[in-house]
Amino acid sequence: MTETGRDALGRIALLAGMPAAERLALAKECRWQKFSKGQLIFDKDSDNRDIMFVVDGRVTVTGYSLAGKEISFAEIGPGDHFGEVAAIDGEARSAAVTAASDCELASLNPVSFQRLLESHPAIGAQIMRRLTAIIRRSTERLMDFTTLSAHQRVCSELMRMAKPSQAVAGAFDIYPIPTQATISSRIGTTRETVARILGELIRGGIMVKKGRSVTIPDMSKLELLAQRLDGRH
């Protein structure tokens, strides 16, 4: 363990309700690893079954289409976790995970994870809600792919990422905004198409970009673009 003397797992949202002494004991069961930006943490079909807690840094979850095109599912940051599906069902990994930045992870083996769920039902309930949310997002994305134009899919993805602004009443923020390549891989289009659409949204005042931050002053305008099924915008 690299965090001797500190309750490093106290940063993990899933474990926040545990007594500190129990988190310290759990940390001793974890395997602590550091990864460099771009380093593969595990690949699709890996036999690694651990649940992993992101103590520092960010990771990217990706999969591949039948044609071999990389598809980005999510970027996971400090305090979050991933890998619970394989830890629960014992099957191979369904996606690859790569370090999006230098990061530190604590991984817990499936047996210890099962004991954790049995002794802390509240954590088990959080896992259930998390898996339900993943299913809902996957269903939404599938519907997007089959019914929406590229322009609409970009708008829908921005809406999914946006959070209420802490600085501007009624506005929504996205920070950090993923790269154009990341967005394109999530919604199944090209980076050039994403760049063009984002440019249109900025010029039209639908969103305001400053550095890696995006502000959406009026979400209803973005929603209107996402809902236009005739493709006109």
Whole-number pLDDT of residue 69: 63
Structure confidence at residue 147 as a pLDDT band (50, 70, 90): confident
Whole-number pLDDT of residue 5: 46
The yes-or-no verdict on residue 66 having pLDDT over 60 is no
Whole-number pLDDT of residue 43: 92
The yes-or-no verdict on residue 57 having pLDDT over 60 is yes
The yes-or-no verdict on residue 21 having pLDDT over 60 is yes
Q: How far is CA 161 from CA 31, 142, 156, 175, 216, in A?
A: 31, 17, 9, 9, 11
CA nearest 154: which of 106, 177, 131, 186? 186
- The model's pLDDT over 70-94, given as tens digits with 9 standing for 90+, comes to 677 788 999 999 999 999 999 999 8
Per-residue pLDDT averaged across 26-52, rounded? 95
Question: Whole-number mean pLDDT of the chain?
Answer: 89
Kindly state the percentage of the chain with pLDDT values over 70.
92
> What gap in Å lies between CA 70 and CA 65, rounded to an integer?
7
The yes-or-no verdict on residue 186 having pLDDT over 70 is yes
**DSSP assignments along 42-87, one per residue:** E-TT-----EEEEEES-EEEEEE-TT--EEEEEEE-TT-EE-HHHH
The yes-or-no verdict on residue 106 having pLDDT over 80 is yes
> What gap in Å lies between CA 187 and CA 202, rounded to an integer?
19
CA nearest 149: which of 58, 226, 97, 68? 226
Q: What is the pTM of this model?
A: 0.68
Structure confidence at residue 232 as a pLDDT band (50, 70, 90): very low
Instruction: Judge residue 22's burial from the number of C-beta atoms within 10 Å of its C-beta, 0-12 exposed, 13-18 middle, 19 or more buried.
Output: middle
- The overall longest dimension of the chain from CA atoms, in Å, is 59
- The model's pLDDT over 122-143, given as tens digits with 9 standing for 90+, comes to 999 999 999 999 888 878 877 7
Structure confidence at residue 233 as a pLDDT band (50, 70, 90): very low
